[in-house]
Structure 1
């Protein structure tokens, strides 16, 4: 497997070498931030958007990244270049750094930067043709005033508990609700519904991560005169939809065909999803920064 890993100033190319200090607060307390980034055809897709979000997340948790945005972009491009691949997945992490066993971030002298670049396939290709079976999980999304989901932090236990529930129910993904019962997102992806040819997706203020792929899909839809609505949505909004699909850097766009065992429309991926996926694939051919 092609692999490139940047370890806070050192490059390695094997899992065995890709080790982090046990006193890193990212490991001890989930104290850090990350981005999942895709590269297609020798281009890192929407890299500047990801870097902007990374630095906004850092500001939100009072973490001062020790390199400039330009330097970080160069590191990401180099990580992709070192894989030797045209298409790859890049996981960029910035932790609080090495400290002690207490939680006080002042004990961490300097934040640490880690970058992993390799291949990825979250779902087999047939799932994009046949669709996913999802369920509504009982684990509620953490309230924005408790842990702001706009900060893409390393603390993903809330999502993982939701994923465990979905796994136990034999589902591909789990839909998470907020404290008021509105749909937020899935455990690892944003969610969209299609109704009468128009797109609907939960709003940021209901407690979702403002996904980069989500943003791109809304841009593409509007460019092709497909109305997009960000509004409060309950589970029934998706059960009564013509189509449902998920978006994320890892999954890209993938359709949902059942929710809690009930079919979405005819239980097959819809035409709007298929068209958006084609437009998205076209976008990845030119919308990015070259690393080759």
Structure 2
């Protein structure tokens, strides 16, 4: 496998960064997860725009243009002979001193990994996924905005650990007000009486690229949608529920906190979203 590291492709076992890199020491950096479908990098421009927004939010000046990063992503995929897969694009603050100050960080590090991924087993897409709500709360947006896709995912990791210890693949995280924010790695959508509802970024949800795609699909299908504060009760009594994410794509949820969603099977509207999503993935992106 070839890894793109600071303007060159290197073998995976030679892809190394300094132990003084602030990305390692403090989680000081940003990333994007991007999908590749049949030689087409899905929504690459949107991902790179969000990357730039994250960089601006944490005051990280990137020395590369958007086109240079786009070319590097495509080059990495071609070097690994990939037509379908998952791309992890990472930018760290760079090498610095053993302290929080960024003044001594010399230059950002660019890392691109192109590989395969399967977040959930295939049967969950066909039969639906059961999930739970976990105790760990989503970080308050005033502390660390969820719209910044930073390298520090410990908040989400702790919630994931809690879910896995109880035998679940995924979990809902609430914000400090008790409203639904998101899952550990996915955005949450409920369908109630024909209306699509999802938490807003102010509630602690990431502005997901696949989330935005789901809202576009809702418009395409003529399904009304809105952002709103969502409670656990709203989840329990929803007619349908699904999650979205770059790695997860669109996955139906059939049970939350031991309560069946609808009749306990993936819903018909969810199936329409998944079908529409699969039609889009090879036409909305950047060809290698």
Task: Report the TM range for the smaller structure's normalisation.
Answer: over 0.9
Aligned to 1:49: 46
Match of 1:144 among 137, 141, 144: 141
Aligned to 2:63: 66
Q: Distance in 1 between matches of 2:232 and 2:78?
A: 43
Q: Distance in 2 between matches of 1:258 and 1:83?
A: 39
Q: Distance in 2 between matches of 1:103 and 1:11?
A: 30
Secondary structure (helix, strand or coil) at the match of 1:21 reads coil
Displacement of 1:133: 1.3
TM-score when normalising by structure 2: 0.98
Displacement of 1:183: 0.1
CA contact (8 A) 1:4 1:118 kept: no
Aligned to 2:281: 284
Q: Distance in 1 between matches of 2:172 and 2:90?
A: 26
Aligned to 2:236: 239
Q: Distance in 1 between matches of 2:16 and 2:11?
A: 11
Aligned to 2:109: 112
Q: Distance in 1 between matches of 2:201 and 2:236?
A: 21
Displacement of 1:129: 0.7
Displacement of 1:197: 2.2
Deviations 1:21-68 (A, max 9, x none): 211110110000000000111110000000000000000000001101
2:93 paired with 1:96:
yes
Q: Distance in 2 between matches of 1:258 and 1:191?
A: 13
Q: Distance in 1 between matches of 2:53 and 2:227?
A: 22
TM-score when normalising by structure 1: 0.97
CA contact (8 A) 1:88 1:120 kept: yes
Match of 2:6 among 8, 13, 20: 8
2:192 paired with 1:167:
no
CA contact (8 A) 1:149 1:209 kept: yes
2:189 paired with 1:192:
yes
Deviations 1:241-283 (A, max 9, x none): 1111100000000011111122111111111111110100000
Deviations 1:98-131 (A, max 9, x none): 1121111111011111110011111121110111
Displacement of 1:12: 2.1
Could you list the structure 1 runs, at least 4 aligned residues long, displaced by more than 3 angstroms after superposition. Answer: none
Secondary structure (helix, strand or coil) at the match of 1:110 reads coil
Q: Distance in 1 between matches of 2:282 and 2:65?
A: 27
Aligned to 2:19: 22
Aligned to 1:181: 178
Secondary structure (helix, strand or coil) at the match of 1:105 reads coil
Unaligned runs of 5+ in 1: none
Q: Distance in 1 between matches of 2:14 and 2:121?
A: 29
Deviations 1:215-235 (A, max 9, x none): 001001111211111111001
Q: Distance in 2 between matches of 1:214 and 1:153?
A: 18
CA contact (8 A) 1:135 1:166 kept: yes
Unaligned runs of 5+ in 2: none
